[in-house]
Structure 1
């Protein structure tokens, strides 16, 4: 005998509370899934099936709960949504892992993790003693240890986030985690600083692969490790990176709050670190319509930009190419696309030859600006350069945006792909 399905009255009540249509909920679930690197193409018929008593797949239930939680402004559990299966443990996804146990974090990264827009809670190790260390200054990591972060950063720039990520995870699990447990005193702070840098690089690799939940966990871990190390600079970098991620995913208020926290933490830090934080504040302030704050932050950031030279360690300098890209983003947010074009062009010209990923993302952003301005031929030229120079780049972010650019260009070619 066929099983009788029980209508999901709890989900229907939540949909009424959110004032969404069935299609609206489906689109929201698709969007949350995209933040984890998962592609879903749900529509209103999918939600209609849920309302009649079918249940989302276990991996989709946390995504649906997250979408509903964001809309409702509170945590919505699987039970409240009327779904069968294990209730997602939301708080655990927000709490930074124990700084002494990177292995636990790496195990958690074995499957999809939902990105959760949230202000980072105060660091669990920010005791009065640790805070005093931060005020004094950063624990410097010896050059031999900095080389690992530099090595994997260069791989990310040259090959994309989908290349060598497993190698970095293995290095963190088998080498760095063991060194953390055995280190003492000053050496302990140096080990935590090294681990913080590597966790940041690992997070950027995940973000480049559109796995934003995993990236967020790495950034939170990096911040925790930096605080434990008493390293002000790395704490600022972790905060700034969390702000960039939140902004890119559309959480503008949270991104702005985190950017301001980074600027506040960067007081008395080296000029490059202060510039790094101010440049992000320029973007978030501009996105919220705060023009004066944005322009002031850009001006302050420019004073700390480093010389245009390759080989400098990414955690010790702020490159001109990266600053000009942020300037372009801030001007775009201020609705000044014509002024943003020279900034993105400067950023592209200043990219190091081996920064293939950075060059690809800059070309894509420049194309986003040029096409609405009617500069179609220049956009097509950028698309051709992308096909030549970004060949073999293992970056889901670049791949997705290249596909979007081709679709946009096809509308200027009578439906034909640009050649």
Structure 2
């Protein structure tokens, strides 16, 4: 006998509260899914089925709840949305790692499965970060961080992520247990660094919910370690992620918190924070502030990253990329071109991922300017030098670039063009 479906009165009430149409809710779920690395093509008919008693797949339930939570301004659970087989809401990391130590780290890694939504959330105020009891400890020079960072740069985020997770869960978590004094600070600092690298690996595969959890964990681990530098880096990374996903206000708040926390830190750390503030300030139309932040950041920029520990220097290539982003936010595309070109030229041969992403961003700028031949040359370079990268971000953007180039015929410079990405 067929199961009788019960209309979902709870979901209908939430849609009335949000003043969303069924199509509007479907589009919002698709957007949250895209941030988590999933491609959904839901429309109003999907939501209509939910309203009459069917339920989203388990992996989609937390995404639908996240869309509702953003609209309502409060946490909406699967139960409150009327979904059967209630999906677990993955808790936002915050504070539990400091007290949970090794168990908290293992618990975090266990949570990074299934569909983990990205959750826009205000960053802890700068006053609370700087008020945290920290010591001026230099970033731990551990070989594991350097190894996994180089793997990410050379092969992409999908190459050794499982290996890093295993190392964190089995080797490093065990070292956190029972550690005391200076050894304890060093181990927590190492865990913070590796959580940041793991987050970047997830982000490279467009799994932004998992990446966000890693970045938040890295911040808590850095605070526990008493390491101001790593606290700044985690805040800045959260800002860059929010900016890339279009959450500009949150990105700007996190960038300002990073700059505030970066006082009395090494020049490279201050530069790292200021370069991100330049981008978010530019996105708000604050031209003067953006240019001042760029000038302050450039004072702490080093040369090539080859041979340097990734948490102790700010490479010229990375800074020039940020300069290009800030100029693009200021709508100065012609001036952004040489910045991205400089960034590409400054990439080390080992940084294949960075070079691929820089070529793609440069192509984004050149094509709307009508510089089609140069864009085609970049696409050929991507095929020659970027093949084999295990990076969903690179693959999807290359596909978008190819679609854009298909609009043009013989390859001569066109009068204009629109970016498809």
TM-score, normalisation: structure 1: 0.92
Structure 2 residue aligned with 1:279, among 256, 275, 278? 275
RMSD of aligned alpha carbons? 2.0
Q: Is the 8 A contact 1:97 1:105 kept in 2?
A: no
Q: Is the 8 A contact 1:263 1:277 kept in 2?
A: yes
2:5 aligns to what? 5
Query: Distance between the aligned counterparts of 2:237 and 2:130, measured in 1?
Result: 23
CA 1:25–1:413 in structure 2 vs 1: closer, same or farther (change >3 Å)?
A: farther
2:122 aligns to what? 119
1:417 aligns to what? none
Q: Is the 8 A contact 1:126 1:228 kept in 2?
A: no
Query: Distance between the aligned counterparts of 1:342 and 1:267, measured in 2?
Result: 31
CA 1:88–1:289 in structure 2 vs 1: closer, same or farther (change >3 Å)?
A: farther
2:106 aligns to what? 103
Q: Is the 8 A contact 1:237 1:273 kept in 2?
A: yes
Matched, 1:193 2:189: yes
Structure 2 residue aligned with 1:357, among 353, 358, 371? 353
Tell me by how many angstroms 1:106 deviates: 1.4
CA 1:309–1:179 in structure 2 vs 1: closer, same or farther (change >3 Å)?
A: closer
Query: Distance between the aligned counterparts of 1:308 and 1:152, measured in 2?
Result: 18
CA 1:371–1:96 in structure 2 vs 1: closer, same or farther (change >3 Å)?
A: farther
2:415 aligns to what? none
Q: For 2:115, what is the secondary structure of its paired residue?
A: coil
Query: Distance between the aligned counterparts of 1:378 and 1:18, measured in 2?
Result: 46
Query: Distance between the aligned counterparts of 1:248 and 1:286, measured in 2?
Result: 14
Q: Is the 8 A contact 2:62 2:115 kept in 1?
A: no
Q: Is the 8 A contact 2:125 2:257 kept in 1?
A: no
CA 1:388–1:257 in structure 2 vs 1: closer, same or farther (change >3 Å)?
A: same
Structure 1 stretch displaced more, 158-167 or 6-15 = 6-15
2:399 aligns to what? 403
2:260 aligns to what? 264
Query: Distance between the aligned counterparts of 1:219 and 1:299, measured in 2?
Result: 27
1:58 aligns to what? 58
Query: Distance between the aligned counterparts of 1:4 and 1:73, measured in 2?
Result: 33
Cα deviation 1:7-35 (Å, max 9, x = unaligned): 33332333233333322211111111122
Q: Is the 8 A contact 1:139 1:189 kept in 2?
A: no
Q: Is the 8 A contact 2:233 2:273 kept in 1?
A: yes
Q: What runs of 5+ residues in structure 2 fail to find an aligned partner?
A: 411-421
Query: Distance between the aligned counterparts of 2:333 and 2:121, measured in 1?
Result: 30
Q: Is the 8 A contact 2:8 2:82 kept in 1?
A: yes
1:45 aligns to what? 45
Structure 1 residue aligned with 2:284, among 285, 288, 293? 288
Matched, 1:388 2:384: yes
Query: Distance between the aligned counterparts of 1:280 and 1:328, measured in 2?
Result: 11
Q: For 1:182, what is the secondary structure of its paired residue?
A: coil
Tell me by how many angstroms 1:322 deviates: 0.2
Q: Is the 8 A contact 1:139 1:193 kept in 2?
A: no
2:148 aligns to what? 152
Query: Distance between the aligned counterparts of 2:79 and 2:214, measured in 1?
Result: 29
Q: What runs of 5+ residues in structure 1 fail to find an aligned partner?
A: 415-419
CA 1:235–1:44 in structure 2 vs 1: closer, same or farther (change >3 Å)?
A: same
Tell me by how many angstroms 1:110 deviates: 3.1
Tell me by how many angstroms 1:6 deviates: 3.1
Superposed counterparts of 1:9-408, under 5 Å: 9-86=9-86, 88-89=88-89, 92-99=91-98, 100-101=101-102, 102-121=105-124, 131-132=132-133, 134=134, 136-141=135-140, 143=141, 146-308=142-304, 310-408=306-404
Query: Distance between the aligned counterparts of 2:176 and 2:74, measured in 1?
Result: 37
Query: Distance between the aligned counterparts of 2:42 and 2:298, measured in 1?
Result: 45
Q: Is the 8 A contact 1:282 1:330 kept in 2?
A: yes
Query: Distance between the aligned counterparts of 2:212 and 2:305, measured in 1?
Result: 30
Cα deviation 1:240-292 (Å, max 9, x = unaligned): 00111111111110110011000000001110000000000111111122222
Q: Is the 8 A contact 1:328 1:341 kept in 2?
A: yes
Structure 1 stretch displaced more, 212-221 or 151-160 = 212-221
